[in-house]
Every structure is written in structure tokens, then in C-alpha cells.
Structure 1
């Protein structure tokens, strides 16, 4: 009877294959708070599916794998060598002794242990002393055909990769021979793994090594109690006394009970299939809960990515809104611009004793701006400089805002730390701002000259001068009475004068349209500059994109398996 027929029905097999697909598609690109746990759970589940479950549900025959695991220095390799009858796995005082899994199998089973079937991502080696990460393959006629022994790395190794590889090797097996010692059997590390074995119904046998004869009964009794509490009450316990090794191997009398039991399990088809089926069924039954856990991690990724995208969108929407305020409330007209404006219209002389009628005001302004000295160019330069400074400040501000928002999350902070271009505006911002402001100024000049070709405004534009009219329009652009939040009185007054003067030149209706059009052109250019600062953030989100609805797909696949079971 094959494993797939005895332990896995077709609906279960189909559900398992769907889980494999969904797990393989799941990604964890963001370093969220639970990132390490998520990656660990994903790696462990991926490995178990590929190393253990798939070979058994998609193949009619796989060797019966017996994994020998345990803590550092417990005597795993010595036990393996003794079971095989020769030294196949390094043993000694160096810790950790076993860095790579060592697989000992009958030559007849060599095909199963080719890279496409077993631990497929690990390089193969035939050298037990190899320090290159991989799996050591040793064919030995002393191993019963259809059975293989796996010597696992230390479960409590100082090397994190060794610990992960040990767990992976154990979870690829049908049966565990768990080796511990009389003074370390209650350590936490072994029991964390033994509880995993109990949760997935993996068959386990305990080898209690180096047991003083006088303590054997007491230690075995306590260990039995712990096994019962962990859900492993039926696990056999083998005691091995502290003995002198013979050519590096345990004496035949010490190893005989364990060797006989292993041989019996491998030889008796009914016993072997019972253990194999129990472990496989338990591993399958444990999958839905593990898939749900992975789905929770996947959802955390989805939520983190969505939160970053939302905060980015909100920051740039707020930046767009700020542009409308900054370039309409008169703040661009403060400082040097205001001083140049007063010089331009001759504020100190023009308004002293000025009669209150608007007609007289326009006449005096006209006389002032057509005077002998050129006050339009300094005003024009001051306006462009102030607008450029404000635009640059807004670009820097939105980048700072996104940084502040993203740094409130682990995922966002990691992206910023990894990508320097997210921490500040691009080096080309200064040139881009100058180019945009200059192009806008050229548009204003072209617009005024174009309007000056018509009969209606030509004479007035010529009487004021194109440069002067451009300066008036530019000045009026940065103050909108409907959006102003209350700038200083002189800025309001100056902008109002500029608007009145524009009305004198173009007519009230056309002046309003020209100023609104020029303001919108500037805002469009400013928006383009500020939104350009978003590109690095969009690229970061694109490169760290989380597959759509991966959490839901995982949950659905887990539920499908539950129904099939």
C-alpha cells in the first residue's frame, strides 16, 4: 500500500498542493515588527512541505527516515556511528561537531536522495568533515534498504543556521531518535522540539545517554513523566550507560537494544507503515493552524504596505494643499519682495497726501512706474527668488513629513534606513526649482507680449513697459484675497495695488483671468516639482510590494484542507 493511498485522500492531496502553491507565492518584503517570526514560519513551513509532505503524497515509495537529533555533546554522532557499525559522522570534543546533516542510506535508495527530491536547495557532499554548508550523503550496505538514518546538527548549536537546519532535518523524518543525557534531559531546547513532535504526532524514541547506573531508575521515571506531560507518553526510552568506546563506537551490548528496535521497525511492514502514516497524518492535520498563522503574518505585511502607501498619499495631498496656501496668502511677497515693491511704486512719495479716489491713485501709480529708474527688474528678481525659496522649502517639507510618518513604523523605518534617497530631496532639486520658476516667468512674459499685440491693451502695456507689467502680474499672482489667511497689512495693500494696476492695464475681467491663469500655471509647475519628490518613495513601495490578497489566499487554502480532512 502506498503512502498517498493510505494516509492522504485525493481531496487532501489537492488541498495540500494548493497550500504549497499559496505558500510559495507568499512574500515578506517589509521588515515589520513580526518580520523575523514571519520569515521563520514561512521558511519552516516551506521546508516541511518540500522536504517531507510533498515527497510522501506525490511518490508511491520513499525511504523510512530516522532522524537522530539532540543537544550539543549529547552523543548523537557516536550513536549514529554505532548503529551503522563504522565512523560515518564526525564525533569528538569540538562543538558543534555536526554542522551539516549526514544522511546514511542503502545504495538502492540513492535516487530518492538526489537534489530534486530531498533537501533540494542544499549542496551535496560525500565528506563528513566538510565545512561547506550542505548535506553529506553516505551510501552504506549495512543500512536496510528502504530505511535511512539522518544525523542532525545540534538543536542548541551556537550557530543559528545549524539550529534551523537541525529543525528542518528533524521535520523531514518519519521517526525521531532523540538523544539527551542524564544531566540535560530537562533542558528547554529539547522540549520545545519534542512538543512540536507531539503536535504533529511524530513518533519519537528517547535515547538517554551516559546514565549512571544508580540514577537510571529515577531519571527514567522523571523523563517518562515529562514525556507524558508533553503528549509523548508512548515514546520508548533507551538508556545507555557511561561506557568506554571501542574504536569510537559504543559496545555492542550497549547499542543492541536500540539497533534491534530500529531494525524491527524497518523490517516489519505493518509497524513501519503505522509509524509513517501516523507521522504523515499528524503533520497534515497540523497544517491548517500553521497556515492560519502564516496568513496572519501575511496580513501584517499587507497592512504595513497599505499603511505606508496611505501615509505617503496623505502627505503629498497635504503638500498639494499647502502649495495653494503658500503661493496665495502673500508670504512670498514679504521681506525683500515687499521692499522692492515699495521702490517700484514709489510708496514713500506716491501715497503721501494721495487723494482717496481710485482714478487719482491709478494716475499716480502710472507716473511712478514709468519713471526714469528701472525698479521692475529688481522686483522681478526678488519675486522669482522668493518663490523659488518657498517652493524648495515645500519640497523639503513633504520629504521630511513622509520620513516622520514612515519612521513611526518598523517597516517604514527599515526602508528609510536601507535607501538613502528616501531621507532627503534629490540632488537635482535646486536646478529643477530654478528651471521651473524661470520657465514660469518666461510664460508670463510671453503672455503679456501676446496680449500686447491686441489693440485694447497695447498702448497701456507699452506705456508701463513689458517688464513693469510682468512684475505687476507676478506680484499679484502670489496674493488671493479669497485664500489669504491674514498676511501683514503692507503685503495686502501692495497686492491690492498690483491687482488694481493690472485692472487698469487689462480691464477688470481680463485682469482677473490673467492673474488666475498665471497663478495656476505656477501652482502646476510647483506641484510637479513637489510630486517629483514622491518618486523614490513610490519606487520603494513598488519594490517592496506585497502580493495582493496573499493572506486571504492562504486562509482559503487552509480551510480547504480542513474540509478535506
Structure 2
């Protein structure tokens, strides 16, 4: 059984709640509770660590816990007063013989030790007292309904690490919801509980005790003893000896009778272990929600960016980049439309016209080149912004994704730096085109033709042709088809037909690679955020398996 519990502790420690799903808060709370119960209570006892018998005194704000503890000890060891909350740290009243155990960090190991009950530093306050039986400790808990969440969590943690609860409530607050949520947990774990009903008016004693008894029976705690403390004047902050004598006698009896103490200890331990498989399975359900949500976010990211990447070839090959200003500059480049009206079968005449255009006073190649780069950059930026907006919209429909977007505003601000990145990428591609044309121009075959047209003009022609592919061009876009055919014919005349096809294909592929790089840069912040929020694979499965092993061992 010890091995099964150790395995559960390992699996629980490996479980992560990184995504703010709808059940995130409940899952994280259960995870915290199980972690502390295993570390603070179950593992030390199942591994047979010699631990004192711990009696936790818990209850609501102002119920009189600290006053009761002080009165039982016979002196002020725990702050009590009108200021709320008065107890922020656990006060451990123990026999000096047990000091070594509590100083050794065996109890609440993550908290430092102190001997000052008034300290505001989170710590375990140790108060040695000779009147406490050796092997027994009384723990004064913070308020279970404290306004400070850390106090509430610590109170529950201490109660879950104790062998016996002494729950303090008052005649007018015993039916409050907060105590009963914890008391029902105690019933599930078979934790032994004693109820101290404080400040009970004599005339209401019978009625209140009867009603409280019925509530305890309904919650599975019918055998819990009830101690009533009348509403009395305090003497130097302490209750009269006669008022607490029944409680002190009962504690002394439990503390001094090893058989009784062991019975209570074993009952609580067995109940806690028996409740563990169901709690682990509940935690596995929450963990599975984390896994499925993470998978959904990852899938939407993959599908959206993959679809965008796959669509790049169509976007930058169907001629849409050549519309508008590019088309107007192309018409100007080839002779303001005259070329199409008087096109002669020989390409020499066409070459002469374009050569005149690029070598005369009117340089039509440079405006065309600029228009192509501008149109390509605009289209690329639109695609990048579009895919970021799409994935953001999908994540917004998911509570966890929406929380990630809120926590990482850079995900929505990727367009801020996109303008310069796109310009730089397109400019780099254009420089590659220029280098390719110049490199080919070193050969005798194409050198004269390239010089005749001018390097700028040739670059404009092949760039224009690169954004048109018959596989993607719209069937009814005859004008673009004709213009692109002219560009292809010109490139064939300059370089030779096959070399032109190869060159234009290479230029197109290089631009698509550039475009894919921009999309990859846009995706990177999303990948980084998911990596930081990664959920361990199969954490739900290993939790269920560890819970099943303990269930079999029981």
C-alpha cells in the first residue's frame, strides 16, 4: 500500500493545471488538497514515521478557538482578541519531548519555524508546554472562513494533517455553510471529530445541542461528542476551569490511553486512504480537461497555419498580385497598350520597344518593379494578419485560449512589427532575383539580351511572370493571362524557353519560402505560449492507473 500511495504522490506532483479551463479552479484546488494531504499526513504515517498524535482546533472566525486553546493550556499561547483574523499561523502546543520532531520540518515542511506567537511572518509557531502529554500536540488553526485565502488554505491543510479534529463553533453560527463543508469531508475520511459549542445561553442549551446532533447525524458524524461551553466572563483572557474541565479531561484521556489514541489514529488514517482513489479519479477528470483543451488549442493552431501555408502557392500564383497598380505599370512598361494592338510575330520588335522604354528618358521598369514589390508586400501582410486574426478569434471562443490572449498581449500585437518584417523579406527576395539575373547574365548566351533590356527591366519581367501560374489563374481572367503570357514570352526570348521556365519557377519558390517564413514568425509567439502552458501527455491516464492500483491494494 505504501508503494501505491508513493506512486500517487509522484503522479499528483507531476500533474499540471496550466490552462484556465472552466473547471480550472476546482481542479487546482483539489490538486492542492491532495498534494498537502499526501505530503503532510499520509506518507509520513504510512512510512511509519514517529509522529505525535495531533489534535487540530479549527472553526470559523470569532468562534473562540484561540481562547479555548489558551484556556486548555492555562496561559496565553495563541493571540486572541477582537481583531480578525487573530490567528494567521498555526500554533503548535506540544510537550518539550516532542520539540525535535516539530523543529525537524517533518510537519508542514515548507514553512519556517518560530517561537513568537505574534509574528506576522508565515511560519509554524512552536509552543512547548509541560502540561501537554508527551506524544500529543494541540494545533490552533487559522480561521476556516478567513478573509485571507492563504489562511483558509492553511487551516484546511492543518486539519487534513491531524488525527483528531476539535471543531469550535457558536450557538448562533453552528449551522453556517463553511464549517459543514469541512465536516462532510471529515465524515468521508472517517476523521474523528469532537464539537465544541461555544457561548451557549443556558436557556438554549438543550435545543441547540439537539439540532446540532441531528445535523451531525445527517452528515455522517453521529458519534461525534459535543461539548457545550456557556457564555461566561473571561478571567485574564481565559475561560474558568469548570467550563473547560470536561474538554480537558477528554483530551487527557485520549492522550494518555495508547489504545484509544491508536484506534482514533488508525480510523482517520484508514478513512483517508480509503477516500484517496475516488479523489484521484476526480483529479484525473480535471487533468483530462486540461489535456483535451491543450490539444484543441494546438490543433486549431496547426490547422489554421497549415491551411494558410498551403494556400500561399495559390495566393501568390493566381495573378491577384498583378492587379491594380501593377497592371497599370505593366501596360506602361510594354508601351501603354500599343504592344497588344500591333504585336508582330517577331520578338525582336517587342524587345526594341521595351529596350527604348528602359533606356530612354522614360524609365518604365523601375515603377513596375516598385509596384510589384509593393503589391506583393501588401498581399503578404494581409495574409499574415489574417491568419493571426483567425487563430485569435478561435482561441477567444475557448476560455483557456481567451485567458492566454489576455495574459500575453503580444499575441494580438504581432502586426506591430509585421510591416518592417514584410518589407525586409520582400526586399531580400528582390535582391535574390537581381543576383540570379546578373549571375545568368555572365554567360554569353543571355548577356547581350539582358544588356539590351537592362537588368532592371529583366528583373521586372521575371518578377511579373513569377506571380502567375496557369494552374492557379482564374479561368475568366483573360487580361491577366495575356499579360502573363507576354512576360513568359519575353523571358523566353531573353534566357531561352526552358531556362526561363526554370528561372521563374525558382523565383516563385523563393518568394513562397519567404512568405512561409513570415507566417512562421507570426506563429512563433503562439507556439511559445503553448510551450509555456504545456500539459503533460497522458497525465489523466497515469493518475487513473495509480488510483486503480491503490484501490486494488485496499
Query: After TM superposition, is the score higher than 0.5?
Result: yes
Within the alignment, does 1:234 sit opposite 2:223 as a pair? yes
Matched residue SS, 1:155: coil
For the 8 Å contact 2:71–2:238, the answer to whether it is kept is yes
Correspondent of 2:296 among 307, 311, 315: 307
Is the CA contact 1:62–1:146 (under 8 Å) kept in the aligned structure 2?
yes
2:144 is matched with: 155
Equivalent position of 2:106 in the other structure: 117
Q: Does 1:319 align with 2:308?
A: yes
Offset, 1:44: 1.0
**How far off its partner does 1:485 sit?**
3.4
User: Is 1:558 the equivalent of 2:543?
Assistant: no
Preserved CA contact (<8 Å) 1:346 1:368: yes
The DSSP-based 3-state class of the residue aligned with 1:351 is helix
Question: Is the Cα–Cα contact under 8 Å of residues 112 and 123 in structure 2 kept in the other structure?
Answer: yes
- List gaps (5 residues or longer) in structure 2: none
What is the CA-CA distance between 1:486 and the residue it aligns to?
A: 5.1
Measure how far apart 1:488 and its partner are. Answer: 4.8
- How far off its partner does 1:413 sit? 2.0
Q: How does 1:345-494 map to 2 (within 5 A)?
A: 345-352=334-341, 354=342, 359=345, 362-371=347-356, 372=360, 373-425=362-414, 428-485=417-474, 488-494=477-483
Residue deviations 1:341-362 (CA, integer Å, cap 9, x gap): 000001332233x36x7x25x4
- Aligned with residue 224 of structure 1, among 208, 213, 224: 213
The one of 285, 289, 303 equivalent to 2:278 is: 289
**Residue correspondence of structure 1 range 490-501 to structure 2 within 5 A:** 490-501=479-490
Q: Where does residue 318 of structure 2 map in the other structure?
A: 329
Task: State the SS of the aligned residue for 2:414.
Answer: coil
Alignment correspondent of 1:256: 245
Work out whether 1:531 is the aligned partner of 2:520. Answer: yes
Indicate the larger mover: 323-332 or 170-179.
Answer: 323-332
The answer on whether the counterparts of 1:400 and 1:424 sit within 8 Å (CA) in structure 2 is: no
Q: C-alpha offsets along residues 162-209 of structure 1, whole Å, 9 cap, x if unaligned?
A: 111111111111001111111111111111010000000000011111
1:143 maps to 2:114? no
**Alignment partners' CA distance in 1, 2:198 and 2:56:** 16
Tell me the TM-score normalized by structure 1. Answer: 0.93
Distance 1:228 1:496 in 2: 91
Q: For residue 58 of structure 1, report the CA deviation from its aligned partner.
A: 1.8
**For the residues of structure 1 that align with 2:515 and 2:176, how far apart are their CA atoms?**
65
Contact 1:331 1:487 in 2 (8 A): no
Q: 1:177: which partner in 2?
A: 166
Corresponding residue SS for 1:180 = strand
Shift of 1:538: 1.6
Q: How far apart, CA to CA, are the structure 2 residues paired with 1:249 and 1:451?
A: 101
CA distance in 1: counterparts of 2:204 and 2:421, whole angstroms: 82
Return the offset for 1:364. 4.5
Q: Secondary structure at the match of 1:179?
A: strand
- 8 Å CA contact retained: 1:329, 1:486: no
Q: Aligned partners of 1:487, 1:69: CA distance in 2, in Å?
A: 81
Does structure 1 residue 70 correspond to structure 2 residue 55?
no
- Alignment size in residue pairs: 550
Quote how far apart the aligned CAs of 1:333 are.
Answer: 1.0
* Residues 514, 140 of structure 1: alpha-carbon distance in 2 compared, 3 angstrom cutoff: same
Displacement, 1:462?
3.6
SS of the equivalent of 1:149 reads strand
Select between 433-442 and 95-104 the one with higher mean Cα deviation: 433-442
Give the direction of change, closer, same or farther, for the CA distance of 1:135–1:485 in structure 2 (3 Å limit): farther
Two-structure CA RMSD over aligned residues (Å): 1.9
Instruction: Indicate conservation of the 8 Å contact 1:396/1:424, yes or no.
Output: no
1:247 aligns with 2:232: no
Structure-1 separation of matches of 2:214 and 2:251:
24
- State the distance in 2 between where 1:140 and 1:485 align: 91
Matched, 1:129 2:114: no
What SS does the corresponding residue of 2:374 show, helix, strand or coil? helix
Residue in structure 1 matched with residue 186 of structure 2 by the alignment? 197
Shift of 1:489: 4.3
**In structure 2, how many angstroms separate the alpha carbons of the residues matched to 1:60 and 1:116?**
13
Q: CA deviation at 1:491?
A: 2.9
> For 1:400 and 1:346, how far apart are their aligned partners in 2?
42
Q: Is the 8 A contact 1:199 1:286 kept in 2?
A: yes
Report if the CA contact (8 A) 1:69-1:177 is conserved: yes
Whole-angstrom CA distance in 2 between matches of 1:92 and 1:443: 80
Do the aligned residues in 2 keep the contact of 1:399 with 1:424 (CA within 8 Å)? no
- In 2, Cα distance between equivalents of 1:160 and 1:531: 43
Residue equivalent to 2:195 = 206
User: Following TM superposition, by how much is the alpha carbon of 1:393 offset from its aligned partner in structure 2, in angstroms?
Assistant: 2.2
Pick the aligned partner of 2:37 from 25, 48, 62: 48
Q: 2-side partners of 1:240 and 1:118: how far apart? A: 31
Unaligned runs of 5+ in 1: 1-11
Any idea what the Cα deviations from partners look like across 1:25-51, whole Å, max 9, x if unmatched?
222222222222222111111111111
Cα-to-partner distance string for 1:460-516 (whole Å, 9 max, x where unaligned): 334333322221111011111211235754333322221222233334333322221
Deviations 1:204-235 (A, max 9, x none): 01111111222211111111111111000111
